[in-house]
Structure 1
Amino acid sequence: MKLEIREYDKELTSELMDLLLTADPDKDKVIAYFTGSTVLVAQEENAIVGIAILSRNLDKEFELKNIAVLKDYQGKGIAKLLIAAIQKLAKEKGAKTLDVGTGNSSLAQLALYQKCGFRLHSIEHDFFSSYPEPIYENGIRCLDMVRLRIEL
Structure 2
Amino acid sequence: MKLILLTFALLITEVLYCATPDMSDTIEKDFRNAFPKAEQVKWYKTDLMYEVVFINDQVSCRMRFLLNGTIDRTIRYYTEEHLPPFILSKIKRKFAGKKVYGVTEDTSEDGVTYYIVLEDEDHWLHIQSDAIGNTIITNQYKKNRNVK
Larger Rg: 2
TM-score (norm 1): 0.29
Report 1 or 2 for greater relative contact order, CA contacts < 8 Å, sequence distance ≥ 6: 1
Name the one with the larger strand percent: 2
TM-score (norm 2): 0.30
